[in-house]
Amino acid sequence: MTLDQPTEENLKILLDELADRLGVVNRSIMDPKDYDLAKYDELKMMHDMIVQKWHLSASETQAFIEELRSVRKS
């Protein structure tokens, strides 16, 4: 499976994996409808960084969540 193409299905997979890795309790902030496919590359970059890192400190987790807020639709 490749996540290189910006599709709705891939967006959902990315957001689910990000939520798992970040330990997001409130999954409503990870609803794919709230994210624009035009920002898929940014989300993919964040996803790849988190997957490579394996473990995030509390401050790193907070920073990624803040970044997710910045790419959500207004």
Tens-place pLDDT, residues 33-55: 999 999 999 999 999 988 898 78
24 confidence band (pLDDT: 50, 70, 90): confident
Structural tokens at position 67: 């970044």
| d(C-alpha 74, C-alpha 72), whole Å | 6
**Which own/partner contact pairs does 48-54 have at CB distance under 8 Å and 24+ positions apart?**
50/18, 50/21, 50/22, 51/17, 51/21
Per-residue pLDDT tens for 60-73? Answer: 888 988 888 888 88
Cα 50 to Cα 17: distance, rounded to the nearest angstrom: 9
